[in-house]
Amino acid sequence: MVITKQGQQLINTLREWNRTTANYRLVIEINEGVWDVTLTETGTVRRARGTGITFDEAWDGMTPTHFQRCSQPHRPRRATRGRSNDDRRPAAMPAMRQGH
């Protein structure tokens, strides 16, 4: 059996959790051929999530999903004519893949 770099990182993460007093949760789901990996530090808002066609892609794509509080209240965006939602997406947010 060949263990990928991502598989080894998962093993190392689990070993590290064994040496700490914090509590963690790991959820790995496969739904209609799409992998979804979520790591959570229980009792906190710290969480990371990744999805992909393979486990390796989901693991490599993991990004923090917790939100930091900001000092400014949320203000809804004004509607813009002639622009799709994709045109208004911030540059740092990648487009969702179609058909996956």
pLDDT tens-digit series, residues 32-87 = 999 999 999 888 888 999 999 999 999 999 998 865 444 445 454 454 455 444 44
More confident residue, 97 or 55: 55
Q: Does domain 5-67 have CATH number 1.10.3470?
A: no
β-strand pairing of 63-64 with 47-52: antiparallel
What are the sequence ranges of the domains in the chain? 5-67
* Entry pTM: 0.60
Which alpha helices (DSSP H) does 1-100 contain, by range? 5-18, 55-60, 85-88
